[in-house]
Structure 1
C-alpha cells in the first residue's frame, strides 16, 4: 500500500512505521520514542480499549495533558476504529460531563499516575450520524452560540487530503521536526501531530508551562532544532521578543499563523532583524469545520505596510472559496461578502445537531459544475484577485481571543443564571497596551451593586464552575444600565476608560508594598480594581505582561522573582510574600 492508497490515518501511520521504525517519533523532555515503540504502545492500549468494549464507530474521550501518553492514546483509539474526543482536563466538571454525554462516549482514557487507564462508560445516548459522513477521526468541541459547545465531526479523509494537498507545496518531509505547542482540544494540534506522524517526522511535545514562558519556549525551539511551527498571532506576539533576543533557530524553515486575524504591521521588528525568506511566514485561514486550515498566504514586505485588506491568500489545493452576497450570488472583486469554503476538507457537520448542520453546511456545484460540500464560515471576506482572498471580520458575535473561538452567548447564558444579574453583554475590548481582552458588562441588582467587589467574586466563581479558562472575562463592569455612544450602540470603551473603585488594601504594615504592587499591576493590566487575592492571569495578564510586572518589581526592589505560575496563583499577596522572603520584612518599604 502507498500513502495515496491509505484510507485511514492509522494506515498512513503504519506506512511511516514500516519506512522508519527506528527513527524518533516523539520527544518529551528527556524521553524519546521511536516509531516502532510508539506503534507497539498504541497496539497494547488498543487491546485494552477493545477489552473495555470499545468498537469501531464508537467515541472515546481523551482527558489527558499534552504528552507522549496523549499521542499513544490517539493512535490506540484510531486503531480500534473509534473516534477520539479531546477534552481538556482543566475544563470545569460540568463542561466535561456535558461533552461526555453529548458525544455518547463508550470509554475515556484518563491519567493514571505516570501512565493512563481506560475507564468504561455507559452512554445514555448514541448520536445519529448523518448519511455519508465517512469514518470519523475525531470530534472537536467548540464554543456554541446556543450556550452549549458543539462537536465538529472530522473524518479520516478530511485529514489525509489536508496533507496530500499541502505536502509538496510546503515541502513536508521525514526530516521535519514539529513543535507540539497547542492543547489537543484546539484543532491546530492536529497540524502539529499528524503533520509529523504521517510523514515519518519528529513531534516535540511542549509542556504547558513551557508553552506559556517565551524564553523557555524559545530555548526549546533551539535545542530540538524545530523546523515547523504553527502559532496564533497572539502567541507569536509573546514569543517574538524572546526569539529576537535569543536569535531565530537556524533549523526553523516555516512559521504558520492561524486561528485569528494577523496584524501584519506587528511583524515589522521580525522582518527587520530576521527577514521573510527563512523562516517563511505563512498566514492561514481555516475554521475547525474546514479541517484546520483552508487557505495560505506567504507574507511579503508589501503586507507589512498594513494598508488595504488582510490577505489570507488562495485556497489550498483541493478546496474552493466563494464570497457570497445576501442574495446568494457571488460577490464581484473587492466586494465584501460571506466566506464559503467548499471541497473535501469540509467536515461532516455537528454531532447530533442536524438542524445546526443544515444551517451551515450545504451541497452545491462549483463554478465548473462539480458538486461540492460547502460550509458557511460566518466570516466576512473579499476576493482581491482571481484566486486570492482577504479577511474582513466576523458577521456574527463570535470572538477570537488568543486563537480561541468564543461565543459570547454561552458566557451570557451562564451569567444570567446568577441571581444578582439583570442583564449582561460579553464582548471583547481593546486596552491601552493594545491587548484585546474578553470583558463582561453586567446590569446588576441594587443588592449586588452595594458590594460590587463581592459580587464580582461570585460571578467569577459561577463562571469558573461552568466554562473553560479561556472563556472567563478578565474584567467585569457592574452598571445600572449599559453605556451607549451617541449612535445608540454599546460603548464598552467607556467602561474601559472609567476609573474603578479600589479594592481592600493589604494587611496593616504592608500597605505601602501592596499599594505599590497594585499600582504596577494597574498600569500594566489597564484596570484599577485589583484585590490582593486576584489572579494576575484572570485580570487579563499574559506571559509578556508577567515579564513586565516582574521587571518592574526588580527595578523597585532589586529582587529577581521566579514564580511557579502553575502551582500557585500569581496574586498581590503571593508576590509581596516572595519579595519579603528575598529582602526580609524590614527591607521592603520604599
Structure 2
C-alpha cells in the first residue's frame, strides 16, 4: 500500500505483530513491551470512543513525561481522533485557551492534573502517572489486558473515564484524518494550531527511510516536550521501527550531566537535539556515549564551527551528525544534511537538500525565482505540507499559497519566512528570517504574541520583544561544548514605552506573562523607555533599541519579579551577586526561580560553576531540582560549608 494510504495506527499494529515481546517504552525505571503498550493504548482508545471521540475529533493530551505519555498518545490516535498536546508546565490560562481554540471535549490526563478540570463538563480519561495503567489495576498487573473495572471518581460533569475491559469498538482513522494539532506562536498575538494528517507523518518516515538505517535495535530518547513537534519524530521514529523509546524526565533533560548518564545507561542510539542543547551535553566531562549512532539536529540554526570540539574528540563517523531544517507546517523535517569535520571550516549553516516529499523554491520579494547563489525566501511544496491552520482561514490564505511553477503547474506552497541560498554543493544554506520571528530554545516565537500580552497593561503604550544572546557577553566560554562561538543563551528581552517606573512595571508585566505565556516566551528583563525609537515609516526601530548592558537612567532595566530582596544573609548576598552577573540583571529576589528570571540550562551551568568556585564547594547541580532560587542554593552552600571538607 502506498504511504499516502497508510495510517499511523496500521503501521503501529504491524510493528506489534512483528515484535510483541520486545520492549517498546522505558519510563520511570520500568519497561513496557509492545504487547502491553498495544493493550493499554487500546483500552484508552475504547474509553475515548465512549466519550464520542473518533475521526475528526480533537482530544487534549495533558500528561507529564512518564510512562503514561506514550500510552495516552497512542490511545488518542487509535480512537481515530487527533491529539492536541498540552505541556503541564504551561500556564493554566494558555492550556485553557488551547482547549477552547481546538474545541476539545475530551482530555487524557493523570489523577492529579485532572483536578483542575472539575466542573468544566469535559470528559476525561485518567491514566496512572507512572505506567499509563488503569488505576484500578494491581501492581504488576498487565493493565489494559486485565484492567480493573471500578469506575473512576467524578472529576468533572459526566464521568472520569478509566480504561476498562468493556471497550467500545475502535474506529480506524483514514490516511487523510488528522493525527495531531500542535499550537505554535502566532504573529497576531494568539497561538495558531497546525493541523497534520496521518499521511504526512507516514510520508516523513517514508522520505527518510533511505537516509537512515533505523531498525528494531535502535533506542530513541524522547527528549522534547510533546508540545514541540520534534517529539513527533522521536516518538514515531522509535515505535514505527520496532525500537525502544526512552522517556526522558524533564528534571533529567534540564541537567546535562544527568542526561549524559541516562543516555549511557540506556544505550541510546538515536538522539535528537537543538544545537544549543547539544552544546551543553557535549560539554559534559564523562565516559563516551558508546551506543550513540545518530545525532539529529533541528529546531534552530546550526553553526558547524560549534561542533569542532566534538569532532576533535569523537570524529565524524560514529555517531553520525545530521542537520535537518524543518518547520511544524511541513511535518517536522524538510531537509537533510550529513555533517563532517570539514564543515567546521566553512561559514554559514548548511541545511542540505529537501526530503523526497517536499520541494524547495527560492523567491525574491516579488515572488520571482532567484538565481543560484542569490539569497531569497524559501517556499515549500509537496505532500509533506500540513493540512493548514485550525480556525485561521485568513492566516492560512496568507501563508499557504498557490504558485505557478516553471513548468506551468499550480502548486500549493508554504511561505516559510526563512532566507536561504542555494550552495555550490547542490544543497542550501540557512541565512535567517525575513521577518521579526525569534528562535528561543528551539521554538519559533512570534514577538507579536508576547507584545500583545504586554500591551494589555494600560500603562504600556508600545512594546517590542527581541531575542538577546547573553552567551557571548561573558567571554569565558563556559559550557560551549568545545566549539566556541555558539549562541546558546538566548532569552527574550522586552522594550516597553511607559511613564511607570521600571521597578513597579516589570513585576506586574512579569506576573501577566507568567499567567499566559510558556516559560520560553516570557521576557527575562524589561527595558522601560519614555517612548520607543521609530523608523521613518512609524514602526519600532529595533536597530536603535539600547543595549540592556549599557542601561542608563533614561533606559532602566528591571526583572519581572523581585521575589523579595536578595541578600538577607552573607551567603545569599554573594550568590545573588553571581546570579546578577550571569543573568546580566540589575536586581533579583531571594525566592525567584532561576528560570523565571530568564535563565537557561547553559546559564545555570555557568552560575553553578561560579558558585562552587566562589565558596570552595563541590555541590552537584541536582540539589536545585526542587527549586532553583538564591535562598535554596544558599542553604545547600551553608550546609556544605558547615560539614567541612570531605
Return the TM-score normalized by structure 2: 0.82
SS at match of 2:324: strand
1:253 CA drift (Å): 1.1
1:101 CA drift (Å): 1.1
SS at match of 2:573: helix
Counterpart residue number, 1:468:
518
State whether residues 175 and 198 of structure 2, in contact with CA within 8 Å, keep that contact through their aligned partners in structure 1.
Answer: no
Task: Give me the whole-angstrom Cα distance separating, in 2, the residues matched to 1:306 and 1:399.
Answer: 25
**Per-residue CA distance 1:246-279 (angstroms, 9 max, x = gap):** 2431221111110010121111111111111111
**Per-residue CA distance 1:181-226 (angstroms, 9 max, x = gap):** 0000000000000001111111111000001110110111111111
**Per-residue CA distance 1:43-64 (angstroms, 9 max, x = gap):** 1111111112222211100011
**Per-residue CA distance 1:229-253 (angstroms, 9 max, x = gap):** 11011111111111xx224312211
Q: Which runs of 5+ in 2 are unaligned?
A: 113-127, 135-151, 159-173, 475-486
Task: Give me the whole-angstrom Cα distance separating, in 1, the residues matched to 2:52 and 2:557.
Answer: 57
Q: Is 1:556 the equivalent of 2:645?
A: no
Within the candidate set 213, 225, 241, 1:183 is matched to 225
Q: Is 1:171 the equivalent of 2:213?
A: yes
Q: How does 1:87-126 map to 2 (within 5 A)?
A: 87-112=86-111, 114-115=128-129
Q: Is 1:517 the equivalent of 2:567?
A: no
Structure 2 vs 1, CA of residues 252 and 3 (structure 1 numbering), >3 Å: closer, same or farther? farther
Counterpart residue number, 2:494:
440
1:489 CA drift (Å): 4.8
Task: Give me the whole-angstrom Cα distance separating, in 1, the residues matched to 2:616 and 2:580.
Answer: 21
Counterpart residue number, 1:40:
39
**Per-residue CA distance 1:419-477 (angstroms, 9 max, x = gap):** 322221111112204532210011222xx21xx32322111111111111111011111
**Per-residue CA distance 1:474-531 (angstroms, 9 max, x = gap):** 11112223368999654345223336689885465x2x43332222122222223233
SS at match of 2:414: strand
Q: How does 1:30-429 map to 2 (within 5 A)?
A: 30-112=29-111, 114-115=128-129, 134-242=176-284, 245-307=285-347, 309-364=348-403, 366-367=405-406, 372-385=411-424, 387-429=426-468
State whether residues 28 and 66 of structure 2, in contact with CA within 8 Å, keep that contact through their aligned partners in structure 1.
Answer: no
SS at match of 1:189: helix
State whether residues 416 and 423 of structure 1, in contact with CA within 8 Å, keep that contact through their aligned partners in structure 2.
Answer: yes
State whether residues 444 and 478 of structure 1, in contact with CA within 8 Å, keep that contact through their aligned partners in structure 2.
Answer: yes
Within the candidate set 469, 478, 496, 2:528 is matched to 478
Counterpart residue number, 1:571:
629
Task: Give me the whole-angstrom Cα distance separating, in 2, the residues matched to 1:474 and 1:106.
Answer: 35
Task: Give me the whole-angstrom Cα distance separating, in 2, the residues matched to 1:142 and 1:520.
Answer: 35
SS at match of 1:75: helix
1:533 CA drift (Å): 3.0
**Per-residue CA distance 1:382-416 (angstroms, 9 max, x = gap):** 11247411111111111111101111111111111
Task: Give me the whole-angstrom Cα distance separating, in 2, the residues matched to 1:40 and 1:430.
Answer: 47
1:541 CA drift (Å): 2.1
Counterpart residue number, 2:143:
none
Counterpart residue number, 1:581:
639
Stretch of structure 1 that moved more, 516-525 or 180-189 = 516-525
Task: Give me the whole-angstrom Cα distance separating, in 2, the residues matched to 1:102 and 1:164.
Answer: 32
State whether residues 505 and 514 of structure 1, in contact with CA within 8 Å, keep that contact through their aligned partners in structure 2.
Answer: no
Task: Give me the whole-angstrom Cα distance separating, in 1, the residues matched to 2:465 and 2:572.
Answer: 31
1:537 CA drift (Å): 1.7
SS at match of 1:49: helix
SS at match of 1:246: coil
Stretch of structure 1 that moved more, 71-80 or 430-439 = 430-439
Task: Give me the whole-angstrom Cα distance separating, in 1, the residues matched to 2:413 and 2:254.
Answer: 36
SS at match of 1:62: strand
Structure 2 vs 1, CA of residues 570 and 268 (structure 1 numbering), >3 Å: closer, same or farther? same
State whether residues 209 and 566 of structure 1, in contact with CA within 8 Å, keep that contact through their aligned partners in structure 2.
Answer: no
Structure 2 vs 1, CA of residues 29 and 68 (structure 1 numbering), >3 Å: closer, same or farther? closer
Counterpart residue number, 1:497:
550
**Per-residue CA distance 1:351-372 (angstroms, 9 max, x = gap):** 1111111111134455556654
Q: Which runs of 5+ in 1 are unaligned?
A: 123-131
Structure 2 vs 1, CA of residues 247 and 583 (structure 1 numbering), >3 Å: closer, same or farther? closer
Counterpart residue number, 2:6:
7
Structure 2 vs 1, CA of residues 46 and 171 (structure 1 numbering), >3 Å: closer, same or farther? same
Task: Give me the whole-angstrom Cα distance separating, in 2, the residues matched to 1:436 and 1:96.
Answer: 25
Task: Give me the whole-angstrom Cα distance separating, in 1, the residues matched to 2:541 and 2:600.
Answer: 33
For the aligned residue pairs, the C-alpha RMSD in angstroms reads: 2.7
Task: Give me the whole-angstrom Cα distance separating, in 2, the residues matched to 1:80 and 1:484.
Answer: 53
SS at match of 2:70: helix
1:4 CA drift (Å): 5.2
